[in-house]
């Protein structure tokens, strides 16, 4: 881009993306990605701010964009096999220690990860589903979502299909995660 050989670059990575956050050149800016209907099935909305990219966004300005979800997938090995046993050990260790990843020195993006987020048309690994149920994680998230829908008739009115409900639930989880992260930062500043 600096040499004028290309007009734009698409960056896919957790914000703040280091090479973008350190990029400084007044000739360039971040471009809005409108949250059009075709994108809504697969991508949640997102926004970027000066906090994320102070060299490219000024003051209170925001750049609307989309987020690209990531998923940790594993082969569903048959129970009573060595590979299934190893997956079970991994799930228990990763899920149990997961809150550690949401604090420094780990990337801030970990704060937005939801272990219980639904993935339409995919089946959760049974051992992971059991861990979540035994720790009441899915139930808590769904309960808060149901309360949100009761208090937000406008949001509830947008739900026409199960896919709409799952899309809104993913957006709710992202919003709740961001809200919780802001609350943690504010409590540390006091």
Residue 68 has pLDDT above 60, yes or no: yes
DSSP label at 12?
-
The overall average pLDDT reported for the chain is 82
**Is 165 within a domain?**
yes
Q: Look at residue 93 in the predicted model and tell me its pLDDT.
A: 96
Residue 75: inside a domain: no
The answer as to whether 160 is a domain residue is: yes
Mark whether 49 and 111 lie in a shared domain. Answer: no
Neighbours of 71 (CB within 10 A): 7
Q: How do residues 150-183 score in pLDDT, each as one tens digit?
A: 767 777 788 888 778 777 877 777 677 666 656 5
pLDDT confidence bin for 63, thresholds 50/70/90: very high
Asked if 60 contacts 26 with a C-beta cutoff of 8 angstroms, the reply is: no
**What gap in Å lies between CA 19 and CA 89, rounded to an integer?**
35
CA 97 to chain centroid, in Å, comes to 18
CA 30/CA 22 separation, integer angstroms: 13
pLDDT: is 128 or 147 the higher one?
Answer: 128
Q: Which of 9, 34, 66 is the last residue of a domain?
A: 66
150: left (phi over 0), alpha (psi -120 to 50) or beta: alpha
99 and 34 inside one domain? no
Let me know whether 31 and 108 are in one domain.
no
Q: What is the pLDDT of residue 140?
A: 56
Instruction: Give residue 113's region: left, alpha or beta (phi > 0; psi -120 to 50).
Output: beta
pLDDT at position 126 = 92
Domain-embedded: residue 128: yes
**139 contact partners, CB below 8 Å, separation of at least 6:** 133
The structural domain count of the chain equals 2
Task: Give residue 141's pLDDT band: very low, low, confident or very high (50, 70, 90).
Answer: low
Range of the domain at 23: 18-66
pLDDT of amino acid 21? 84
- Do 62 and 89 lie in one domain? The reply is no
160: left (phi over 0), alpha (psi -120 to 50) or beta: alpha
Residue 149 lies in a domain: yes
User: Strand, coil or helix: what is 157?
Assistant: helix
Instruction: List residues bridging with 62 in a β-sheet.
Output: 49
Flag whether the pTM goes above 0.85: no
- pLDDT confidence bin for 139, thresholds 50/70/90: low
Burial class (CB in 10 A: 0-12, 13-18, 19+), 177: middle
Q: How confident is the model over 42-60, as pLDDT tens digits?
A: 887 888 999 889 999 988 9
Q: Are residues 144 and 179 in the same domain?
A: yes
Strands (DSSP E) found in the chain:
45-49, 62-66
The percent helix, strand, coil of the chain (3-state, each to 5) is 45, 5, 45
CB 155 within 8 Å of CB 148? yes
Same domain, 95 and 139: yes
Whether 37 and 116 map to the same domain: the answer is: no
């Amino acid at each position: 881009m600096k040499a004028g050989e290309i007009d734009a670059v698409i960056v896919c990575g957790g914000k703040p993306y280091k090479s973008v956050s350190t990029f400084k050149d007044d000739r360039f800016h971040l471009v809005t990605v409108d949250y059009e209907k075709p994108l809504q099935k697969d991508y949640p909305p997102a926004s970027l701010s000066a906090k994320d990219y102070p060299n490219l966004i000024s003051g209170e300005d925001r750049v609307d964009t989309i987020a690209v979800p990531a998923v940790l997938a594993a082969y569903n090995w048959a129970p009573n096999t060595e590979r299934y046993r190893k997956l079970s050990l991994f799930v228990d260790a990763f899920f149990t220690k997961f809150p550690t990843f949401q604090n420094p020195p780990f990337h801030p993006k970990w704060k937005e990860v939801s272990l219980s987020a639904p993935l339409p048309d995919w089946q959760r690994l049974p051992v992971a589903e059991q861990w979540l149920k035994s720790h009441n994680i899915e139930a808590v998230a769904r309960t808060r979502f149901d309360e949100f829908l009761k208090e937000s008739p406008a949001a509830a009115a947008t739900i026409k299909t199960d896919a709409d409900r799952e899309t809104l639930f993913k957006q709710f989880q992202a919003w709740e995660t961001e809200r919780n992260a802001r609350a943690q930062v504010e409590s540390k500043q006091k």
